[in-house]
Each structure stands twice: as structure tokens, then as C-alpha cells.
A and B are shown apart, each in its own frame.
Chain A
Amino acid sequence: MMLHCRKLYLWLVGMLILGPFVPLIIQSLAFRWAWPDLLPSIWWVEQRENSRLPLAWDYVISPYSRVWEATLNTVFIGLSVTLIALVICLPAARVLARENFRGKAAFEFFLAMPLIVPEAAIGMSLLMIFIKLGLAGSYLGVIVVHLIPTLPYMIRMLTAVYQGLGREFEEQAMVLGASRGQVLRLVTLPMLMPGVIAGTLFTFLVSSNIFLLTFFMGQGQIVTLPTLLFSKISGGTLDATAAGIALVVTLPGIVLLLITERFINEEAFGKGFGS
């Protein structure tokens, strides 16, 4: 009995997660899909020749939809944020994992704060000063605000790696006569690599999913995948092109899911606050 419940629940959750994507795919291919039909009465490809304007997927992959632009922006911003976050967080994570110092607990608490202060508060508070500084509507402005919600995750994940690394391996290498450079290149970096990859992927993921901060700081001039989809569905309806764009917006997540599963250290999430 218990076993059946468990299986049923797993099935149900799986269906609820994947199920809605089936009509989303169908919708993106539909030309006419009236209520209460369970399948479209006219498909997009049937109407393709009859229309002078691009329909559905023709539109999605055309420059008019700005999908390519949004994809490139998302990737560019994500990569920049990740790189900056990595450079900033590596030394901090090392210290947090290995040293005990006064104010450590306070620092760790402060690190967690961006996770629990609403994004709306951060975005709107900064917007005016960013406009003043000419950062609003620029890549730099968007990249800079993306650092706020991503840094805490990056530091946590890197700290977890350093904790697992231990100092012994490096000291062993030193005892055996390795120089500092050699230790870094041959011992520290290879051992850190899995964690660095995990942190990098996760930071990229968080950045590519940010809507509100991009929406505020991008000022409509910088379009990313989440903001593009938002502008398509903000009216509360979903046509074929919006469905197509929603599918495109889902793709990076699927790609990241396939590669992160091997690297993401689930422990990094299990850590409590201030611990």
C-alpha cells in the first residue's frame, strides 16, 4: 500500500513537471487551435505558404523575434557574471573554508543576505543611481546587478570544495619540494576543478534565470531570454510564437541540467543558515 502511494506520487510529480510541455510544443506548431479541440485544427506548416509574414517557428528563428539577440545576450551576460564571480569568490571561499577569524560568523550571515532580501527592493533602489551613472540599459549595469544574487551561491559552492580539499595535499607537495606555482598548478587547481565547474555552472544558471533585475537595469534595451518571454506573455495569453519562444527559453536549462547533474554538489544546498 505504502509502496503504491510512493510510486503514484513519483508518477504524479513527473507528469506535472513534464506534462505541460506537451501542449506547449503542440501550441508552438499550431495555426488554429480553438476551444475545445484537443489538437489544433490547422497546423502552422499548412499555412506557411499562404502567409506573407513569417508564422510561428518561422518567426521565432527570424531576426524580428529578437530570439537570437536575447540568447546571445543571456549567454554573454551569464559568462561575464560567472567569470567575475569566480575571480572574486575564490580567495574568499578559501579563507572561509580554512581560517577562523573574528567576524567570520557575521560575514557569513551577511553573505546570505542577498538571498533573503527581495530582488524588487534591490533592483528599484539601484535603478535611479544606475540611470544617473549611465549604467542603466548597458551590459555593464546588468552584469553588475547580476553579481548580487549570484555571489552568495558561488561562495557557498566554492567554500564546500575547499573544505573537502584540506590543506594536507598542498603541504605534502611542498614537503616533497614543489614550488608554490607547482602546487597551485599541479595540486590545488586539479582538485578544485570539479567544484569550480559546479559553481560556474550554477552561477551561470542563476544569472540566466534572472528576470526582474535584468528587466529593471536593461531598460528594455538589453533583452535576455526571460525578459523576452515576459514581454510576449505579459498580456496573459500565449500564441504560437510565444509558445515557441518559451521552448527556446527552456533549452539552456535542459542543456545545463544534462551537464550539471554530474557536477552539482548537492551538499552545498543542504547547509543551513549561518552554519
Chain B
Amino acid sequence: MTDHRGSSFWVWAQLAPALLVLVVLFGGALGLGVAQALGFAPWFGVNTFPDTRHFAALWSDAAFWQSLGLTLYYAVVSTALSLVFGVALALALQRAFPGKGLYKYIYKLPLMIPYTVGIALAVLMLGNGGMVSRGLAFVGLINDPGQFPQILKTHAGWGIIAVYVWKQTPFVTLTVYAVLLGLGRETAEAAAVLGARRRQIFCYVILPQILPAIVSSSLIILAFNIGAFEAPFILGGGYPETLPVVAWRYFNDADYSLQLRGMAVVVSIAVMSGVVLFGYLVAYRRYERRMGRG
């Protein structure tokens, strides 16, 4: 056998297909997005590259900043809730209980189905004519659908958040549970033997070990939530809307300069998401260093 180890040509040759697809498609998308937002649109017969007009118009609009705040609010709140519920579920799954085999199928169901199904379920359960509203009527708390506190289509966004949390809690659980499985219960039991309380065991023994899994899963869902379109489109409270929906509206405008402004929105989403995620990672790395790891 010829030994290829260390031959960097051979290494990169094997990486090439994946690298090529990612660079061309993904890198190309990023490059094109920025170029278009800066006025590069030869297909409209327009090429004023580099032209910061679209960004200027967008960023000087107060509505943009409201949309940005709204986007971040939905994304952060639902990520935080998914983390809390997901980690709690992973911890609860650690011990044996009757029906655990079946339960491990059930809890993963939301992970396997599209967001649109989650949205359909939210409409059915949380709408003013929905099942929760009917339940309240059944026990006599309300006698008209109008009396039901509006959950969907408000800027508080509880419908959107409910869909995200419903869909993403299992993802956090899956990620964290995988790590818990690998850890075994020995360290926690050792701490218990040494007299640590439940709280202490969680904070000082379990949490530091599952933290990388928590961080990586929350990065993924946070990024997804920032860029998500369908839930805020259907369940959102109208103007001001979240950034992906704003981008979509601009993008479908017949006016090409608004289409380019849509691209500026898209680039802003990517930049904001990058800044938020990077900040999160830096904070985490700093914590790791303080703990004497990494």
C-alpha cells in the first residue's frame, strides 16, 4: 500500500468536492448577496457597484431597527426557552422509567417534521377559535372567541415562539442527552457520595460537561430563528415585521431598487446573525478559559 499520509495533495484532493460545492454555492451566495446589496444587478441593467445607497436608505429607516429588534427578540426568547426545556428533558431522560423506549421516539417527533406542520398546529391550538379557546369556553371562563387573549398575530409573538420552542426543544435534548450518555453517571454519583446537593451536582459537575453541547445546539437554533421566515410570516403581528419577512416583501416588489434594498436587508440579517453568534462564542470561550479549559 502506498502511504499517502502527509501528502497534502492527496488530502486536498479528497476534500476538494465538498470544498468546491461549499465555496461555490455558499461562498458564492455570500459574495453575490453583498455585491447585489451594493448595487450590482446587471440582470436589471443596473450596475452601480459599489454603491452604499441601499444600505443607507435601509439603515436610516426607523422601521428597519424595529424589525431588527423584533427579529432578535423572537430568536433569543425562543432559543432561551428551548434551552431550558431541552436540558431539563435531557436530564429527566437520564433515568429509567416505564415506557422510556417509546418516549425516546415521541420526544423526537417535532424534530422530524417541517416547521409548517408546527405552524398548522399552533393555528389549531392557539388561535382565537382554537382548542385552548374552546377549552376555556368549555369550563366557562369565556363565552365568545373575542374574549380569548390573542396569542397569534401579535407583536408579542407567543405563537411564533411556541412553534420554535416546540420544534427546537427536542433538538437541544438530543444534543445534550448524547453527551450525558457518554458521561455516564459516575461523576455525579461520586459528587453525591461526597455530600454535594442536587443543585451543586448540577452546577459544578453536570453543567460544565454539557456546556459545549448546549452552546453548539443553541448556536444552530439561534441562527435558524434569526433567519426563519414561515412562522413570522404566518403568525406574526403585521407591520413592523421580522427582517426575513421584510426582505421577502422588498424582494417581491416590482421596483428593482427595492429589490436591491431587500438584498441589503438579507446582508444585514447575515451580519447581525454573525455578530450575535460571534459574541456568544467569544463569551463562551472566555468562560472556558476561566474554567481552565481550552
Are A238 and B120 within 8 A (Cβ)? yes
Q: How far is the CB of A34 from chain B (nearest CB, A)?
A: 8
- Given contacts A91-B14, A270-B182, A229 and B116 within 8 Å (CB-CB): yes
A27 within 8 A of B: yes
Are B22 and A110 within 8 A (Cβ)? yes
Are B109 and A36 within 8 A (Cβ)? no
**What per-residue 1/0 map shows which CB atoms of B74-112 lie under 8 Å from chain A?**
000000000001001100110101000001111111101
Contact of A21 among B17, B88, B121, B230 (CB under 8 A): B121
- Given contacts A124-B266, A126-B25, A151 and B18 within 8 Å (CB-CB): yes
Q: How far is the CB of A147 from chain B (nearest CB, A)?
A: 6
Are B114 and A269 within 8 A (Cβ)? no
- Given contacts A174-B1, A256-B112, A88 and B106 within 8 Å (CB-CB): no
What is the CA–CA distance of A9 and B91 in the complex, to the nearest angstrom?
11
Are B21 and A236 within 8 A (Cβ)? no
Q: Which residues of chain B from 24 to 70 have any CB-CB distance to chain A below 8 Å in the complex?
A: 25-26, 28-30, 32-33, 36, 41, 43
Main secondary structure of the interface of B (DSSP, over half): helix
**What per-residue 1/0 map shows which CB atoms of A111-135 lie under 8 Å from chain B?**
1011111111110111111011000
Task: Identify 6 residue pairs between A and B in the complex whose beta-carbon atoms are under 8 Å apart, listed by A's number.
Answer: A38-B135, A120-B244, A148-B25, A211-B230, A246-B116, A271-B216
Which 9 A-B residue pairings sit nearest by Cβ, starting from the closest? A118-B227, A125-B33, A253-B112, A266-B178, A36-B137, A272-B212, A91-B14, A270-B178, A253-B113
**What per-residue 1/0 map shows which CB atoms of A85-119 lie under 8 Å from chain B?**
00111011011100101100001001101111111
Which of A12-20, A47-55, A59-67, A190-198 lies at the interface? A12-20
- Given contacts A91-B17, A94-B14, A120 and B263 within 8 Å (CB-CB): no
Are B29 and A233 within 8 A (Cβ)? no
Are A126 and B32 within 8 A (Cβ)? yes
Residues of B within 8 A of A215 (CB): 229
Interface residues of chain A, those whose CB is within 8 Å of chain B, are 2, 6-7, 9-10, 13-14, 16-18, 20-21, 23-24, 27, 35-38, 87-89, 91-92, 94-96, 99, 101-102, 107, 110-111, 113-122, 124-129, 131-132, 144-145, 147-148, 151, 155, 174, 180, 205, 208-209, 211-212, 215, 225-226, 229-230, 233-234, 236-238, 242-243, 246, 249-250, 253-254, 256-258, 260-261, 266-273, 275
Interface size on B, residues (CB 8 A): 105
Residues of B within 8 A of A209 (CB): 112-115
Which residue on A lies nearest to B176, using beta carbons?
A: A270
Are A116 and B220 within 8 A (Cβ)? yes
Residues of B within 8 A of A96 (CB): 15
- Given contacts A95-B15, A275-B212, A20 and B263 within 8 Å (CB-CB): no
Number of A-B contacts (CB under 8 A): 284
B190 within 8 A of A: no
B134 within 8 A of A: yes
Which residue on B lies nearest to A19, using beta carbons?
A: B125
Residues of B within 8 A of A180 (CB): 1
Residues of A within 8 A of B181 (CB): 266
What is the CA–CA distance of A204 and B64 in the complex, to the nearest angstrom?
36
Residues of B within 8 A of A234 (CB): 233-234
Are A24 and B33 within 8 A (Cβ)? no
Interface residues of chain B, those whose CB is within 8 Å of chain A, are 1, 5, 8, 11-12, 14-15, 17-19, 21-22, 25-26, 28-30, 32-33, 36, 41, 43, 85, 88-89, 92-93, 95, 97, 103-110, 112-117, 119-121, 123-125, 127, 129, 131, 133-135, 137-138, 145, 152-153, 166, 169-171, 174-179, 181-182, 198, 212-213, 215-217, 219-220, 223-224, 226-230, 233-235, 243-244, 247-248, 251, 262-263, 266-267, 269-270, 273-274, 277, 281
Residues of B within 8 A of A145 (CB): 25
- Given contacts A17-B166, A89-B18, A242-B120, A125 and B29 within 8 Å (CB-CB): yes
Are A88 and B21 within 8 A (Cβ)? yes
- Given contacts A118-B224, A249-B114, A7 and B97 within 8 Å (CB-CB): yes
